Amino acid sequence: MTSAEGNPLADPSPRPAPPSKVEAGQATPEPVASGISLLTAAIGAAVLTVLVAILDETYQAVQEGDGLARVDQPLLDWMVVHPTPALDAAVTFFTDIGSTKILPILTTLVVVGLAWWWRSWTPIALMAVAAAGSVAMTEAGKDLTGRARPPRGLAVPPYESTPSFPSGHTLNSTVIAILLAYLVLLHVESRLGRVVTVTLLALYALAMGMSRVFLGHHWFTDVVAGFIAGTAWALVVILAHRLLLRIQYQRALHSNAMGVQ
């Protein structure tokens, strides 16, 4: 993570340190960035509250069979009449990327590569916490609802037998996509690089969720719950990291002040 070594506050006219140096422990966050983090925390808390409320509404709709859950069957019926053998195979190949067997391996390779490139443990630490929470939320949600999967007659094999709500593929992929996007925004200074990477990650998470409905493995509300829960948990991890950076900045500021005395 970060440290107070190489503190730019000791310089009477410090230049803003790029995020990559802050994350690598070569500089501390700038005062302006620290101030913005308070606003970010307030906005993030408000967004998190809204997400939790929407997730609760989705859960209630599933339990009572009304609200958004009313579109589950019509949407599934519409999707399953359009596939072809080639399309089924292609979507199955794609959705397998989000499985618990493949996604952890790919994610580990990516974050280890980022950690080596940026000389920082932050990608590994953040992703480890995010992934652990994501898996725990998925298992807890499935145990809580026990919702049955769509009929096998509408699904593309191989079939799945675990509870349907929420979609684990969607939840896990959403968390990983958001965390990777956050890391990119911290380290990549190119506007084009940021836009392209974040857009591709968002499309990946969206496509992963809808592939689950297309293959008949999940109801639409399972996917919606995965999107919301994944976004909420990723937001918690990011806010916690921003708080840690602020604490480190305050400690560095205090240490610098004590050194001047």
Distance CA 230, CA 58 (A): 14
User: Inter-axis angle of helices 220-260 and 31-64, to 10 degrees?
Assistant: 160
pLDDT tens readout for residues 65-95: 888 999 999 999 888 776 788 899 999 999 9
Query: For 93-102, what is the mean pLDDT?
Result: 92
What confidence score (pLDDT) does residue 100 get?
86
The pLDDT of residue 104 is above 90: yes
Overall pTM surpassing 0.85 (yes/no): no
Query: For 199-214, what is the mean pLDDT?
Result: 96
Residue 153: in which H helix or E strand, if any?
none
Query: What's the gap between Cα 15 and its chain centre?
Result: 32
Residue whose tokens read 């506007």 = 191
The pLDDT of residue 18 is above 90: no
Q: 158 preceded by cis ω (within 30°)?
A: yes
